Amino acid sequence: MTQRPGNQLFDAYFTAPAMREIFSDRGRVQGMLDFEAALARAEASVGLIPQVAVAPIEASCKAERYDFGALAEAIAVAGNSAIPLVKALGRVIASGVPEAERYVHLGATSQDAMDTGLVLQLRAALALIEADLAQLANTLAHQAQVYADVPLAGRTWLQHATPVTLGMKIAGWLGALTRHRQRLSELKPRLLSLQFGGASGTLAALGDKALPVSQALAEQLCLNVPEQPWHTQRDRLVELASVLGLIAGSLGKLGRDVSLLMQTEAGEVFEPSAPGKGGSSSMPHKRNPVGAAVLISAATRVPGLLATLFSAMPQEHERSLGLWHAEWETLPEICCLVSGALRQAQTIAQGLEVDSARMRRNLDLTQGLVLAEAVSSVLAQRLGRDTAHHLLERCCQRAVAEQRQLRAVLGDDPQVSAELSADELDRLLDPAHYLGQARVWVARAVTEHQRLSA
């Protein structure tokens, strides 16, 4: 069947193909058709329609039987996708088994088909996202342990701070993903709920068969039966979008960290290299963080899309004008952006290239100043906090002014040498001996990940 033309130049960069397929025209249409087929089965199971009507309806609920281009033109007039689709479904059924056509879409409304179809798409989308999150978390857990004891400069306000470890930094990325996986698990029972309310949410057209049909329909689709239809209560969808926004933000943090560590002046951690990856059209030497760019881009774009969904929440009465429509492309695009970012993040994490020697050289850029706190903390116990702080501050100023190693300046200072031996100073100014609880943080993050994955 005819496919509408679209902009696919950037899809391979920003979106996972499997996610784009879920939210393709075919995916949208099949979601609604799955609702219609399940509705026929449910209504037949409670005796509302003849059992013989089910097979011709099911046989007609195949997306490949419909012309998406024609549907698109009809949507422009009808105002939603279900109205022309149900009409087209009726015509297909009538062409084969005319008497079955009267039982199509019985008691339902357009939004029932569209929202339930969307929920079915979101269930498939969640399966992809959860699988990708688990894979990425496994990779990060492994990398966090590999680099648990590799020191590098901590950076606050983009300036060198005290040492951390690369494993600790990776464990931070991992911890965020673990929490997001928990959030997705918690929201699924609310999200995966049937939408079935008929014209204005009462299911009056089905009389005393309304609740049995609802239950049977939910069972057919493996969805939960909500306490009532949610045509204009959109919190379920916005909750999912919010968690996806959190995921995008955390992936953006990962991408930002990696891109900063890849800067020429740092040169400590790199995305995996590949022929043609990260090059420049004019500068042959370039190695750009093209994967990190996708993560940062998604983290930048998703909040605006999420704002659209929040803005669309105060929907009017029992059916919204325009606000519901604002959701149709917004939530799928969020899913697609997050899926693309997850795919790029996995590539980065799995092939992470680390220059530990450069990390050590960078730690020495300030000639020991990043470890001034280590010395000050010990001296504070012997001289008092204020005295120790001012003493180290003066020594640091001398080291900068004289362009000398802090170790040499401290060794020359009689007040310092009276309290600390040469061996003590050497130990205090070794980054490997001032990593605090970095290894503990790694172990905790990995344990939480393993507990969730068990």
DSSP 8-state secondary structure symbol assigned to residue 433: G
| Angle CA 224–229–234, to nearest 5 | 90
> Residue 297 — φ and ψ, nearest 5°?
-60, -45
Under 8 Å between Cβ of 420 and 146: no
Please tell me the distance from the alpha carbon of residue 96 to that of residue 146, in angstroms, as a whole number: 64
In order of 230, 239, 279, 315, 400, the CA distances from 235 in angstroms are 9, 6, 43, 11, 57
Question: Is 319 a known active-site residue?
Answer: yes
Phi, psi dihedrals of residue 164, rounded to the nearest 5°: -125, -165
Looking at 110-165, list the stretches that DSSP marks H as alpha helix, in order from N- to C-terminal side: 110-146
**Alpha-carbon distance 210 to 216, whole Å?**
10
The amino acid occupying position 229 is P
Exposure string over 82-106, b if 16+ CB within 10 A, otherwise e: bbbbbebbbebbbeeeeebbebbbb
DSSP string for 58-117: HHH--GGGS-HHHHHHHHHHHSSSHHHHHHHHHHHHHHH-GGGGGGTTTT--HHHHHHHH
Question: Which one of the listed residues 95, 280, 417, 453 is annotated catalytic?
Answer: 280
Catalytic residue among 123, 256, 319, 398: 319
CB atoms within 10 A of CB 292: 25
Tell me how far apart the alpha carbons of residues 222 and 205 are, in angstroms, rounded to a whole number.
24
Q: Closest by alpha carbon to 436, among 172, 146, 141, 151?
A: 151
Rounded Cα distance, 385 and 376, in Å: 8
Strands (E), 133-199: 151-156, 159-165
Alpha helices (H) in 222-371, listed in sequence order: 235-262, 290-311, 323-327, 330-350, 356-363
Give the residue from 239, 230, 234, 240 showing the smallest Cα distance to 195.
Answer: 230
Rg of the Cα atoms in the chain = 30
353-354 and 269-270: which strand pairing?
antiparallel
How, if at all, do strands 151-156 and 353-354 pair?
unpaired
* Burial group, residue 55, by CB count within 10 angstroms (0-12, 13-18, 19+): middle
List the catalytic residues.
280, 319
